[in-house]
Amino acid sequence: MKRQILRNSLLACLLISAAFAAWSWFRPYAWRPDPAARCKVVETLVTRDQSYFWVDVRLKVNPGMTHDLQKPVRLETAAGAKHEPADTTFAGTEGQGTTEIWFKFWLEPADLAGPLTLDLNDGKLLIKTGNTVPELATSTYQNFTTNHW
């Protein structure tokens, strides 16, 4: 009798864990990205570099859309400062064109103290909603798969 209860409890825990893992895996970075941006955020990587931060934003281009290279891309802070990317990387296939874009920004800790918004194409994408700066040691990083950081 005790074995049956233990077995059922372990099975229930396994199913709950699997459901949580699936929800975490398939959860989008942002629930309603701006369609005018023509992209959606997949993840953000924040790396500490002495007293500054590198913020890498990985985007996936929406199917059937293209990124307009003529329009500026800027990361806007809560204080209103606008930062241009320090580096941009494009990826894709010959038949589909550009399917992914990485933008890399160099920010001060004060820039990360509030929400961040990425202005690209004709839209805005919410990169960060929180008001805290990630606590990272020098040369360490943290990967965010949702904008709630």
124-149 burial, b at 16+ Cβ within 10 Å, e below that, comes to bbbbbeeeebbeeeeeeeeebebbeb
pLDDT in single tens digits along all 149 residues of the chain? 788 988 989 889 998 898 877 776 677 888 889 999 999 999 999 999 988 999 999 999 999 999 999 999 999 999 999 999 999 999 998 888 899 999 999 999 999 999 999 999 999 999 999 998 888 888 899 999 999 88
DSSP letter at 121 equals: T
Question: What is d(CA 146, CA 74) in angstroms, rounded to the nearest whole number?
Answer: 20
What are the structure tokens assigned to 105, written together? Answer: 């920004």
Question: What is d(CA 87, CA 108) in angstroms, rounded to the nearest whole number?
Answer: 17
Model confidence, pTM: 0.82
Burial status of residue 29 (CB atoms within 10 A of its CB: 0-12, 13-18, 19 or more):
buried
- The C-alpha angle 41, 35, 91, rounded to 5 degrees, equals 45
Domains and CATH numbers, the chain: 35-144 (2.60.40)
